[in-house]
Structure 1
């Protein structure tokens, strides 16, 4: 029997087969979970549909996470189909491309609001909708973050601020949802070549530096991150909440 046998998992953020969200979906499916996928919109629908088929995924739902109405509709469909929810994975982040290059001083008010709304507030909005579906089910919420929340990386700019807010949100949600038995954690993944990272200026430089300096002298894989999310969502992590779990080949421990 798999670690997640009989569990229902809703995963936001699958864009293609290089997504961390996709590696997570594969890992959870392997361990017995029934998967629902939520994707950003029609632009990625044609890439998500064939991936969903691989997991025999019946619930493949579009959702603009900036809209409370769309989130309410999506979670209503989850309630109707499943009756409840055990696992929620937040692998959603966005900043305008212009904000991810040059000086942080050039951050615009609109760009700041966009990054924080999509990358951070969406976790609060999802958790609020998920809370009644997770009651009494020892639920688990896992959000994806990055070390740029804690240290400065070239061109990460406003996304670093958004991820810092996300990590604080993980802690506050852990306290807010703990009394009902729901755990909330974050996974801080090392640099990966994904659709999201493609928009970050100097990403190749960051990835090369991490590979040279990390204790394991390499970068991570999507599968390693997916397995870490699996652990946090499983009964193996039943006493873990409010944590930021690093999967970065140890880079975060290095001073120089």
Structure 2
């Protein structure tokens, strides 16, 4: 990644998957620019950005078009109109308490909020940075989760949002391919983060996935960061429009695969 310039959206604290990815990219020589959500988040993450000598970090509300436009204009000047990769790790859940119980009880506000932040923000950022990415063999990566494909207890509207996000990745891949830009989703397994703590009964989910994955454990942060490095580097130039799972094999296992074989 030496000499490559990238934008990372979604680092919220030291335990963020986005921060694990950022450190791995920085270790490989990438120049990183960051956004953060608000002043409270900034107090946690700005020292992290400074620790890897990043010179660009801007507070941005991704639901505010004017703030996004201002950030992109500053980024354009900072990187002299050149951008090689984007890490989109932004996700917004519904109102407090709506990631438990029944999906059908989600409010209209919670549904729209989840879709706007988790899904549309990617499309908006891609549209606004397209001129910086084209003709640079650029790579874009977003973060999804298994709840997009299967029902995961208490994931609810976020599963619907992640399904929409993965569909957006495929349509964006079709839009961007002619410009040499590729885009993929990385779907990590169950990882303990601050965002995950908002999911009801998360500890049980974490234990269950570790016991029932093919590797009999959850994927590590290092493995997730390494897979991200692959997707964002020139090692993956033939891959676009895909959702890549890094979950120790949990997502390919059927519900009955632990059952003992019955002799007939």
Alignment of 1:77-226 (within 5 A): 77-83=74-80, 84-95=82-93, 96-226=95-225
Give me the CA root mean square deviation.
0.8
* Partner residue, 1:53: 50
Which runs of 5 or more residues in structure 1 are unaligned?
Answer: none
* Partner residue, 1:13: 10
Please identify runs of 4+ aligned residues in structure 1 that moved more than 3 A: none
Q: Secondary structure at the match of 1:35?
A: strand
The answer to whether the Cα contact below 8 Å between 1:19 and 1:222 also exists between their aligned partners in 2 is no
Q: Secondary structure at the match of 2:154?
A: coil
Say how many residue pairs are matched. Answer: 253
Matched, 1:75 2:72: yes
Residues of 2 paired with 1:38 and 1:241: CA distance?
25
Q: Secondary structure at the match of 1:98?
A: coil
Which runs of 5 or more residues in structure 2 are unaligned?
Answer: 256-264
TM-score (norm 2): 0.94
TM-score (norm 1): 0.97
**Higher CA-based Rg:** 2
The answer to whether the Cα contact below 8 Å between 1:97 and 1:200 also exists between their aligned partners in 2 is no
Q: Deviations over 1:190-239 (max 9, x none)?
A: 11111110101011111111000101111122222111111001000001
Residues of 2 paired with 1:11 and 1:227: CA distance?
16
The answer to whether the Cα contact below 8 Å between 1:11 and 1:36 also exists between their aligned partners in 2 is yes
